[in-house]
Amino acid sequence: MTGRGGAATGAGAPAEMLYVRFRAAGDGGPDGDRGAPPGEETYEQLLRLLGQFTPAIEALPPDAALADVRGALRYFERDAAGIAELIRLRALAWYGVRCTIGVAGNPLLARMAAQGAAPGEVRRVPGDAVADFLDRKPAAALHGVGPATARALCAYGLDSVGRIAAAPPATLQRILGAKAGRAVYDKARGIDPSPVTPNAAARSIGAEHRFAHDELDPDRRRRALLSLADDLGARLRGSGRAARALTLTVRYADRSTTTRTRRLPEPTAHGPALTDAAYALHAALGLQRARVRSVSLRAEDLCRAELAARQLTFDPAEDKARRIEAAVDRARERFGEAAARPAAKLAQPYSRSAYRGP
């Protein structure tokens, strides 16, 4: 199977894609993956480090990136794993950041290789070893397969990637629907046609909440999302920008992640609109008993606020909310962020890292 430009993207493709996850070295004890993501400035420096090897970089803020290094192999006279080792050493020496890197033939396999790697390890999945690599992994290990989809598959005995790959495509389509069934079938066989899409020109703003303990309470997760959406709205308004889309990323206790994006009805920097979208994304995941380690929100596809059209409304409550929001912004600008904030921020302490990604 081939992607754009004729690049092989199937299970037998050469291992030329890198998924790089960044963590502060020495932060979090012996398990380096528990360390904090890099700050905004360091993250951008790390992207520039990747740019020394290839221009085909897809930023995945706050702590990861995809890189297609096919064009760099001959120049550096190394295979993709060798280039990954150079990146790992330079990031550690120059920025004090530990890189866990998955090397494989497509973004799906590279991501999964990194998720299963030890902190600071470079893990390669050769094209002829894809079936063995995937066989015994749980269904939820496939990127894009969330808890609800995994439960639906497990109810039919399809609890491992190997069993999903052996199932008839028609069976998966009956369980998950035509489109989702085909996508999961391809992923279970290690097929991912998506290219690495350079996105350095597009800017995003985001923030992450890391719980002190793996969180089971949906109300506490919603309070965290309220705080994050409030922060994003304030930062967007302060920079004179509005978001056309919002992305929610949930990281679980087993270090797997689920990411969902929703296009907003209109570009906005209005806190309640961002909060409603975040709640809707969270509810759609169906995280009934999931142990959540962190949640993050990212405002994407930004535009200048003056170019964003606003739907006229005759709702006095909406107008009042916007006037209050403007007053809160003025109070924060004069007296600091703590001058006015949602009650959710007072309900419980939490750790938050903010980032602005390319």
What confidence tens digit (pLDDT) does each residue in 244-260 have? 899 999 999 888 889 99
Alpha carbons 74 and 106: distance in angstroms, whole number: 19
CA–CA dist 155, 300 (Å, integer)? 36
What are residue 314's phi and psi, to 5 degrees?
Answer: -105, 15
Question: Residue 202 pLDDT more than 60?
Answer: no
Q: In the numeric block, which tokens belong to residue 154?
A: 């497990």
User: Residue type for 27, please?
Assistant: D
Return d(Cα 61, Cα 337) in angstroms, integer: 24
Judge residue 87's burial from the number of C-beta atoms within 10 Å of its C-beta, 0-12 exposed, 13-18 middle, 19 or more buried. buried
pLDDT at 28: 47
Q: Specify the range with the lowest mean pLDDT, choosing from 39-43, 96-100, 229-233.
A: 39-43
* Residue 261, both tokens: 């994006």
- Give Cα separations from 350 to 63, 114, 229, 253 (angstroms): 19, 27, 15, 17
Report the first-to-last Cα separation within the chain, whole angstroms: 30
pLDDT class for 156, splitting at 50, 70, 90? very high
Burial class (CB in 10 A: 0-12, 13-18, 19+), 205: buried
State how far the Cα of 102 lies from the Cα of 123, in Å rounded to an integer. Answer: 5
pLDDT band at 340 (very low <50, low <70, confident <90, very high): low
pLDDT tens-digit readout, 36-87: 788 777 888 999 999 999 999 998 877 899 999 999 999 899 999 999 999 9
Whole-angstrom Cα distance, residue 194 to residue 2?
9
Give pLDDT tens digits for 10-42. Answer: 666 677 999 999 998 764 444 444 567 887 778
With beta carbons less than 8 A apart as the criterion, state whether 244 and 298 touch. Answer: no
Query: In Å, how far are 5, 60, 122, 151, 185 from 2, measured between CA atoms?
Result: 8, 23, 25, 31, 17
